[in-house]
Amino acid sequence: MIELGFFAVLAALAGWLMRRRARQRSEAVADGEPAEVPCMLKWAALGSRWKVGRLLLTGTDPLLRTSFPGRREVALPPGLRRTGVRAPSVREGLTINPRSRIVECESAEGEVLIAVMPEDLEHVTEAVRVTSS
C-alpha cells in the first residue's frame, strides 16, 4: 500500500514538472525568446528513421538539435511549408508517442515530418509558417 502512495506522489510530481516546462516554453515563445521544443523529425536527408531532438524556435529558421551522436544542429530545408497536421498511424505510434501530432511539410528537398506533443503544436506550426514566408 505504501508503494502505491509513493508512485502516486511520483506521478504527480512528474506531471507537475512536465506542465511547468510546457508553460515556460509558451512564455518564452510569447516573449519572442528562443525556445526548445522536444520533437521527432523524419526527413530523407537525415535517413529514413525518426530522429529524436529538440526544435530550436528562434526568430530565424528553426533548427533541429539532435539528442544523440554528436548533438549536432541541423537546419531545416529552405522553403519549408506546412501541408497538414495529422495523428500518427498505428505503425508510427509504435515508434513515436501515439498522443503526438505530426506536422507534414514540403520543401524542395522533399517531405519533412515533425512529430510534437499537442501542447507544443501551435509553436511549431507558427515557426513553420514564418519560415515559408
Question: If pLDDT is split at 50, 70 and 90, which confidence band does 119 have?
Answer: confident
Mean pLDDT estimate for the chain: 83
pTM of the predicted model as reported, rounded to 2 decimal places: 0.76
- How far is the C-alpha of 127 from the C-alpha of 121, rounded, in Å? 10
Which three three-digit cell numbers place residue 16?
A: 507537475
Q: Which residue has the higher pLDDT, 67 or 125?
A: 125
CB within 8 Å of 96: residues ≥ 6 apart: 40, 50, 88, 102, 115
Q: Look at residue 59 in the predicted model and tell me its pLDDT.
A: 63
Question: If pLDDT is split at 50, 70 and 90, which confidence band does 130 have?
Answer: low
pLDDT in tens, 84-98: 999 999 998 898 989
Question: Residue 133: is its pLDDT beyond 70?
Answer: no
Whether 99 contacts 78, CB under 8 Å: no
Q: Look at residue 109 in the predicted model and tell me its pLDDT.
A: 83
The torsion angles phi and psi of 105, rounded to 5 degrees, stand at -130, 155
Locate the domains of the chain by residue range.
1-33, 34-128
Q: Give the residue-averaged pLDDT of 63-91.
A: 82
Whether 98 contacts 12, CB under 8 Å: no
51-57, strands of its sheet edge to edge: 73-75, 63-66, 51-57, 35-43, 110-116, 101-107, 81-86
